[in-house]
Structure 1
Amino acid sequence: MHICFLTNEFPKAGFPHGGIGTFIATISKALVEKGVKVSVVGKNYTPNADSEVVNGVEVHRLHAKSIKGLAWCFNTRVIAKKIEAIHSKTPIDIVEASDMGLAFLPKLKGIAYVIRMHGGHHFFAESEKRKVGVWKGFQEQLSYKNADAFVAVSDFVKTHTSKYLSLDNRPVERINYPINLNHFQPLKITSTPFKIVFAGTICEKKGIRQLIQAMANILEDFPEASLDICGRDWFYPNGDSYIGMLKATEVPKLKQGSGSVTFKGVIDYNELPKIYAGAHVCAFPSHMETLGLVAPEAMCMAKPVLFTKEGPGSEVINHGNTGLLCNPYDPSDIAEQIKWVFQNPEAADEMGVNARESVLQRFNINIIVEQNIAFYDRIINSNKS
């Protein structure tokens, strides 16, 4: 079996990447260990092409064109040629892409094309209550039309995506994201009392603005409380920094507690477990997620975790047992949930233990890799018949 993932986010030293890159790096390594050949194809982080083997995975980063209005055409052509070259050498069984990834890609005979629903343009347009863009909407519709099968990372993303994009009775499987159990495990590091840790892209839909607003309430009862914000900045269409906006408009409202909020920048993936381990509570009050990786990663380390009750939140956390769920639009609710952790240390510790056990059962890479292989086998056999 030969799987080819299409992504521009496969982790590369010195460059930040998102959750899709983390997922593909994790599942690819596990597939290789099961005897599956894995290739990764995507645009490079730098203006050149290079290839390397990472944990047995052949990673091909291609030179990205930047011709205004035509970059999509040239880049698709380059990716298509690389897939064809790889396929001619070692036949590919499955090409897998995210929601928009198959839009203009020519299909090769003998290959099945799969979309993994990581949360596309239509999905987030609904959750963010904005219109579907004409160009992006067209690309996603075309991509879904070209797919032979789908993997949904949560029941929620499957249900809400299918409201807008036809699956046409093609195979759809719900398979959770896997968590690297060796990387995220309890560490012998003493947590800092009343330290709150957030990790993720610093943008509106991650609920970070409401989390900072919640600090005013938290600091009234726990003046020692602090919030470490870890992640890359997001920029408005005009180039303005989202972090800059927060520092200018939200942090000053904390008055004497303004020094309690620290922007830590991008944290290396290898250092992330230490960051979680040092937290009293990890908070991720996203307005919307397809499933999310940060919550189950922190749960796997037996940390008390606050997650969103929106979207798939209840698929990840059983409120009060394996973690806490909040209204991500309500700073007072966010504050109350975090203060509960501070006020109930023994119950919070027990919650962390339950959280880890839950992840070991439902996000275990050893189980999920087998689910992926079984799904791929089914699609490959169906494609041959």
Structure 2
Amino acid sequence: MKFQHHRSTPKVSILVSDLSKSGAGRWGGAVRTFLLARSIQNLGYEVEILGFIFGDEPPDSIPKDLPFKTVPGKNYPGFLASATQLLSQIEGDILYALRPKPTTFGLALLKKMQTQCRVILDIDDWELSWHGGDDWKYQPSLKQFARDILKPNGALRYPDAPFYLKRMESMVSRADEITVHTEFLQKRFGGVYVPNGKDTSLFEPEKYDRETSKKKYGLSGYRILMFPGAPRPYKGVEDVLVALDRLAWPDLRLAIVGGSPYDDYDRQLLSRWGRWIVKLPTCPVEQMPEVVAAADIIVVPQRDVPAARAQFPLKLTDAMAMAKPILATRVGDIPTIIEDGGFLVDPSSPEQIAEQIQWIFEHLEDARERGSKARERCVEHYSINAMSEKLAPLLQSSKVSKLR
């Protein structure tokens, strides 16, 4: 399905805070940045992606048909020059800023002052939730304030420090449009609900064979639970591993795809539960369907904390598109997303996870039937085309306003 527009359609510039290999560039086109770009391209718009590279290498796995520009990111005061350089490279008539950060939304508002361009703000995470949420306060002593400003690693030298994030949150009403991808974020910030979409023509289960994929990725002979993403404490991987301890099935394994770029949490998991874990490397989005095909069950065991409630786990649409049995927790939008296309347990409940794993393997045909329902639901509500249909009126509104 391709939406047609005339050549008068303006260009859309997507602004990302970090396009490095440890940032959005790490995921090879699989995260929201690139899902939005694909959905906008699907509507017939020209798209460019712009972002900073903070102390890391530029990405090498972004799809080649998505033009992108990067600028070396620096802490203050050097960030002023970096920001000026990026601003000068923005060509879009519509700016799509990802998250209310100074490095994205702040730059978009500055560009709007210069050119009267339209600004859409996308909020796919609650940034302050990582710093204590509404309880976060900055009340330094005079001495601490001086350190935060003057020391090379001072807290206020970082362009997206919580101090600045809180102020950007207070300015979200200055956006011409707001999009969000969970009900939690919509209640907090308003805006239009645009859930993540999956390329369901790429993630097509009939193209792949489970046993062939297992053999290719060294998983033959095992019953495979899969977690395709970066483990972090709030994502509940530990609860799954405790469940595997309870079951103690020798042929059961948890395959973690990609691992964490943030800290040594992977190593902590391996040191305690290494007997159950198989680590698979990060791979480009084009390879992910083949990897996911090897799974018997996809696990999305989020814990019930603000960071998890604000997120739309992309692992869900990986599993749904590939018609895989899904074992997830009742957190945030997860029950609404999968409805009767998966299996739900309470968060932080290893005993329920263990019981559900056992039930699924004892009733695999029933579980795979639910996976087929999840695939149908994904195509209808959580595909790239569905995402495009949500974005079309927002971009059309911006187009009309710009061309008047």
**Alpha-carbon distance in 1 for matches of 2:246, 2:287:** 30
Question: Deviation at 1:194?
Answer: 2.1
- 1:139 corresponds, among 156, 160, 165, to 165
Shift in CA distance, 181/141, structure 1 to aligned 2, threshold 3 Å: same
Normalising by structure 1, we get a TM-score of 0.80
Q: Which residue of 2 aligns with 1:152?
A: 180
Shift in CA distance, 95/30, structure 1 to aligned 2, threshold 3 Å: closer
Q: Which residue of 1 aligns with 2:323?
A: 302
Q: Which residue of 2 aligns with 1:369?
A: 388
Structure 1: gaps of 5 or more residues: 252-257
**Alpha-carbon distance in 1 for matches of 2:333, 2:130:** 13
Q: Which residue of 2 aligns with 1:62?
A: 71
**Alpha-carbon distance in 1 for matches of 2:57, 2:345:** 44
- 2:126 corresponds, among 95, 99, 120, to 120
Q: Which residue of 1 aligns with 2:269?
A: 246
**Alpha-carbon distance in 2 for matches of 1:360, 1:48:** 35
Shift in CA distance, 233/267, structure 1 to aligned 2, threshold 3 Å: same
Identity %: 18
Q: Which residue of 2 aligns with 1:32?
A: 41
Q: Is the 8 A contact 2:12 2:95 kept in 1?
A: yes
Q: Is the 8 A contact 2:255 2:278 kept in 1?
A: yes
**Alpha-carbon distance in 2 for matches of 1:50, 1:265:** 16
Question: Deviation at 1:96?
Answer: 2.8
Q: Which residue of 1 aligns with 2:250?
A: 223
Q: Which residue of 2 aligns with 1:334?
A: 353
Question: Deviation at 1:265?
Answer: 3.3
Question: Deviation at 1:39?
Answer: 1.2
**Alpha-carbon distance in 2 for matches of 1:313, 1:19:** 24
Deviates more, 1:344-353 or 1:192-201: 192-201
Letter of the structure 2 residue corresponding to residue 95 of structure 1:
Y
Q: Is the 8 A contact 1:50 1:62 kept in 2?
A: no
Question: Deviation at 1:202?
Answer: 2.0
Question: Deviation at 1:8?
Answer: 4.8
Letter of the structure 1 residue corresponding to residue 278 of structure 2:
T
**Alpha-carbon distance in 2 for matches of 1:49, 1:18:** 12
Shift in CA distance, 204/18, structure 1 to aligned 2, threshold 3 Å: farther
Q: Which residue of 2 aligns with 1:73?
A: 80
**Alpha-carbon distance in 2 for matches of 1:77, 1:51:** 25
Question: Deviation at 1:322?
Answer: 0.2
**Alpha-carbon distance in 2 for matches of 1:218, 1:48:** 42
Shift in CA distance, 339/72, structure 1 to aligned 2, threshold 3 Å: farther
Q: Is the 8 A contact 1:99 1:144 kept in 2?
A: no
Letter of the structure 1 residue corresponding to residue 224 of structure 2:
K
**Alpha-carbon distance in 1 for matches of 2:327, 2:70:** 36
Q: Which residue of 1 aligns with 2:32?
A: 23
Pairing of 1:233-382 with structure 2 (within 5 A): 233-236=260-263, 241-248=264-271, 250-251=272-273, 258-287=274-303, 288=308, 289-318=310-339, 321-381=340-400
Secondary structure, aligned partner of 1:328: coil
Shift in CA distance, 71/358, structure 1 to aligned 2, threshold 3 Å: farther
Normalising by structure 2, we get a TM-score of 0.76
Structure 2: gaps of 5 or more residues: 1-9, 139-160, 212-219
**Alpha-carbon distance in 1 for matches of 2:250, 2:363:** 17
TM-superposition CA deviations, 1:299-348 (whole Å, max 9, x none): 11110011221111112111xx2001222312112222222211111110
Deviates more, 1:203-212 or 1:37-46: 37-46
Letter of the structure 2 residue corresponding to residue 201 of structure 1:
A
